[in-house]
């Protein structure tokens, strides 16, 4: 029993681990590292909802389990340990459903929320643009009112779930100094998505989204006009905890692989686990992984208590994603030449880990957030 887990959380995690080890991970490995088609990704994600993926933080009336965000993070860590590609779409659905729950009208919630929680529909969230990353207030995508509709034009990029998406929460400029969220139903208001090839994580969809005279009912506006920036910053707290946890899942898998290899590999008459420099790497990995997890649990605990946790979430995201890189690099080093071959998964883990400090605010942005909270001095004006 891990002290920070309840008995119920422990049962959820243990049953999920058995399902992943015995059924889902073998299927994922058989598929390989190529793109996972939407029907298969939906099938796998829906299988995982039984164990709390997507469903854990959401209310039972929407098909959720009502177990909270900490439980979702525990579940997410286990899935990321097996396959980050498969973990990510459900994470986006969980966050997108949270935005719909918080900001959507009763009609919007009744129409879409249960399908999102059940992973019947995939959602994407569009903030980044070709010239807009961390500066959310600078978005250029415009929504112009035309009677009972918005007409939206613009381009979004680095959109997770982009090609999979049935729904798209678009961060738009609805007036010169007004940023708002608008929910776009792809079937009703079409948009184009093109996948982006990356150094890793190509099994799931990261895409550019193009909106050309996209007509969307004004009733699909989420929250108050002009409140988009504030609502985005609140969502970042949950998202950054998940970014931290996906790095922890990768790092933990890298450590497991390194330990197994170090016990089996014999050099100079003994397993290399018995060599002091290798032992040092394993001990350092384990300690930093546990420290990152504790930072992340603290942060999500504050979020669940209804408190602002901007500093704590930034600390967790920064620390966990950077130790993910260090852990996977050391695991690869322990494997030696074998580590750079595709016969051993540490090669893939190392490529995935390098990506993690970038989404939802880079490490440098996280440090600026932490310093701003501590000093009260803003780096940007």
3-class secondary structure per residue, the chain: CCCCCCHHHHHHHHHHHHHHHHHHHHHHHHHCCCCCCHHHHHHHHHHHHCCCCCCCCCCHHHCCCCCHHHHHHHHHHHHHHHCHHHHHHHHHHHHHHHHHHHHCCHHHHHHHHHHHHCCCCCEEEECCECCECCCHHHCCCEEEEECCEEEEEEEEEEEECCCCCCEEEEEEEEECCEEEEEEEECCCCCCEEEECCCCCCCCCCEEEEEEEEEEEEHHHEECCCCCHHHHHHHHHHHHHHHHHHHHHHHHHHHHHHHHHHHHHCEECCEEHHHCHHHHHHHHHHHHHHHHHHHHHHHHHHHHHCCCCCHHHHHHHHHHHHHHHHHHHHHHHHHHHHHHHCCCCCHHHHHHHHHHCCCCCCCHHHHHHHHHHHHHCCCCCC
The predicted structure's pLDDT at residue 381? 62
> Does 13 share its domain with 76?
yes
Confidence of residue 2 (pLDDT cuts 50, 70, 90): low
pLDDT tens, residue by residue, 9-37: 999 999 999 999 999 999 999 998 899 99
Average pLDDT over residues 322-329: 98
pLDDT tens, residue by residue, 107-137: 999 999 999 999 999 999 999 999 887 788 8
Specify if 2 maps to a domain. Answer: no
pLDDT higher than threshold 50 for residue 1? no
pLDDT tens, residue by residue, 144-167: 999 999 999 999 999 999 999 999
> Does 54 share its domain with 102?
yes
> Does 370 share its domain with 247?
yes
Confidence of residue 229 (pLDDT cuts 50, 70, 90): confident
Average pLDDT over residues 280-297: 97
Instruction: Report percent pLDDT > 90 for the chain.
Output: 91
pLDDT higher than threshold 80 for residue 372? yes
Domain containing 73 equals 7-117
The predicted structure's pLDDT at residue 194? 98
Residue that is last in its domain, among 97, 117, 137: 117
What is the number of domains present in the chain? 3
Specify if 1 maps to a domain. Answer: no
> Does 239 share its domain with 321?
yes
The predicted structure's pLDDT at residue 230? 81
Specify if 380 maps to a domain. Answer: no
Which CATH number covers residue 299? Answer: 1.20.140.10
> Does 149 share its domain with 254?
no
pLDDT higher than threshold 70 for residue 260? yes
């Amino acid at each position: 029993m891990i002290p920070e887990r309840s008995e119920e959380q422990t049962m959820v995690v243990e049953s999920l681990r058995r399902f992943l080890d015995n059924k889902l991970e073998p299927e994922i490995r058989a598929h390989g590292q190529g793109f996972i088609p939407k029907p298969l990704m939906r099938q796998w994600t829906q299988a995982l909802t039984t164990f709390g993926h997507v469903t854990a933080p959401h209310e039972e009336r929407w098909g959720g389990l009502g177990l909270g965000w900490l439980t979702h993070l525990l579940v997410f860590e286990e899935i990321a340990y097996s396959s980050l590609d498969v973990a990510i779409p459900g994470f986006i659905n969980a966050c997108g459903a949270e935005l719909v729950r918080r900001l959507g009208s009763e009609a919007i919630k009744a129409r879409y929320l249960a399908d999102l929680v059940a992973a019947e529909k995939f959602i994407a969230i569009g903030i980044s643009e070709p010239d807009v990353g961390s500066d959310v207030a600078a978005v250029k995508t415009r929504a112009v009112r035309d009677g009972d509709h918005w007409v939206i034009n613009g381009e979004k990029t680095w959109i997770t779930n982009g090609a999979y998406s049935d729904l798209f929460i678009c961060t738009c400029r609805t007036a010169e100094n007004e940023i708002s969220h608008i929910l776009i139903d792809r079937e009703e208001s079409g948009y184009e998505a093109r996948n982006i090839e990356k150094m890793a994580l190509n099994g799931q969809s990261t895409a550019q989204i193009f909106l050309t005279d996209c007509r969307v009912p004004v009733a699909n506006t989420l929250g108050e006009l002009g409140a988009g920036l504030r609502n985005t910053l609140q969502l970042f707290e949950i998202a950054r905890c998940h970014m931290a946890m996906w790095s922890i899942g990768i790092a933990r898998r890298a450590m497991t692989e390194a330990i197994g290899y170090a016990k089996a590999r014999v050099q100079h008459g003994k397993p290399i686990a018995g060599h002091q420099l290798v032992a040092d790497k394993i001990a350092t990995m384990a300690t930093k992984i546990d420290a990152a997890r504790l930072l992340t649990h603290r942060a999500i605990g504050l979020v669940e208590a209804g408190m602002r946790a901007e500093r704590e979430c930034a600390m967790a995201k920064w620390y966990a994603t950077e130790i993910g890189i260090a852990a996977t690099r050391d695991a690869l080093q322990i494997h030696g030449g074998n580590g750079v071959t595709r016969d051993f998964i540490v090669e893939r883990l190392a490529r995935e880990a390098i990506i993690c400090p970038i989404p939802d605010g880079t490490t440098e942005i996280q440090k600026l957030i932490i310093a701003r909270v501590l000093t009260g001095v803003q780096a940007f004006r």
